[in-house]
Amino acid sequence: MSSRRLEDLNPVVADMCRRFLALCRDRGIDVVVTSTLRTEAEQLALFAQGRKSLWYVNELRRDAGLPPIKEEQNRIVTHVLTSVHQFGCAFDVCIIKDGRAVWNIKADVNENDIPDYEEIGKIGEHIGLTWGGRFKFKDYCHFEYTGGLTLEDLKAGLRPKGKTVHRNKEGGKVMGKSFWKSKTFWVNLIGVVGVIVQSQTGYVIDAEKQLVILGVINAILRFVTKEPITWSR
C-alpha cells in the first residue's frame, strides 16, 4: 500500500505538512493525509488506470501491493509516470466531515462560503507548498515542495533542505549563503587583484604569497560559516 506516514516524507516536507494540517484545523477543516511516499511500482499502477484494461491494471496493482479495483474505478487518476511522491516531496489529502471522506471540490464544511479544497489550497500556498489545484490537470488534493529542485534533480538524488536549494557540482547553482562567503569568489578576486597590481606596479604576488593569503581567508571562512559554497553555473 502507498504510505500515509509523514515520517516517510522528506523532513522539510513533513514539517510543512504538519503545519499545513494544523492551519486547516484552525480554519475548522478536518484534513487527513491519504498518500505520502510511493514506490515506482505504485506510481506505474496508478498511471495505468484509465489507460489500460482492468485486468492489466489489477496485475500492476497486485505487483505493487495495492488492492484490486472494479471496472468503474478504472479511470485516470494521475497524468505523470514519475511523481514527486516517489521522492518523499509530496502528499495527498482528503477533507473529512462526520468521519467520512468529502471529495466534492465545492464542499464547504466550515460554512464560510469558500469551497474547502480551494481554502486549503490557499493555506498550503501561504506556507510555501505547491498546490495541485493550479496544475493544468487539476489535482485539488495534492501538495508538494521541492525547494526549487526539478524532477531531474530529484532523480539524481538531490532533496530540498529548508527554504534553500543545495546542488552538487553537476547541479550547478547552490543556494544557501552570500557569494562573499565562497572560497571560489576569493580565489578569483585574488587572481584579479594580482593581475592589476602586477600591471600597475610590476610587483608580482607569487604562488607562495597567494597560498598564504588563501590560507588566512579559508580560516576566516571556516570560522564565519559552515554553509555550502554558493556559486552559479
For residue 122, give Cα distances in angstroms to 23, 24, 30, 56, 81: 11, 10, 15, 38, 27
Q: Which residue has the higher pLDDT, 153 or 188?
A: 153
Average pLDDT of the segment spanning 211-218: 70
User: For residue 9, what pLDDT band results from cuts at 50, 70 and 90?
Assistant: very high
Q: Are 51 and 76 in contact (CB under 8 A)?
A: yes
- pLDDT beyond 90 at 30: yes
For residue 13, give the nearest of 94, 119, 92, 105 by alpha carbon: 92
Residue-wise pLDDT for 60-90, tens only, equals: 999 999 999 999 999 999 999 999 999 999 9
- pLDDT beyond 70 at 232: no
Domains, the chain, with CATH or none:
6-38+83-155 (3.30.1380.10), 176-224 (no CATH)
Question: What would the grid cell of residue 229 be?
Answer: 559554497
Give every CB contact of residue 57 below 8 A, 6+ residues apart in sequence. Answer: 45, 48, 49, 69, 74
State the CB neighbour count (10 A cutoff) for residue 55.
Answer: 9
